[in-house]
Amino acid sequence: MALVDDIMKSNAAFGLAVGAGLAVVAPFVLPIVGGAARPILKALIKTALVAYESGREQAAELAEFGEDLVAEVRAELEQEHAQHAAAQAAAAAAVSAAAAGSAVSGPVTSPARSPGASGA
């Protein structure tokens, strides 16, 4: 008996004994466990597929939201650019109109003073 006790104290021998025991019992236990595990595995796979599809739909909605937001920002930028260009054109037109108006009327001079008028 001492020999068996020494073998069982060794971790490797214990592992071999457990492995051999499972090899003997496995052909009887696996069909029972496998039959019970199949519906559970199918339910897990089904749940994973539903979650995956839901995630894809949500990702598509998020992408569409992002694209819409980018399109709105681009439209606002184009509108601001057009307003800025129109303001610059109006300012340029005002400057050229003022320049054309001063060229037609001539230089602005101060009124002439009479020789007898005094400043005080």
pLDDT of residue 38: 83
* Torsion angle, alpha carbons of 11, 14, 18, 24, to 10: 140
φ and ψ of 119, to 5 deg: -80, -15
pLDDT of residue 52: 93
The pLDDT tens digits for 35-87 are 788 888 899 999 999 999 999 999 999 999 999 999 999 999 999 999 999 99
What is the residue-averaged pLDDT of the chain?
A: 80
Beta-carbon neighbour count of residue 2 at 10 Å? Answer: 6
Q: Residue 17: which of 32, 30, 29, 9 has the closest Cα? A: 9
The span from the CA of 19 to the CA of 105, in Å, is 113
Beta-carbon neighbour count of residue 79 at 10 Å? Answer: 10
pLDDT at 30 over 80: no
Q: Which residues contact 13 (CB under 8 A, 6 or more apart)?
A: 7
pLDDT at 118 over 60: no
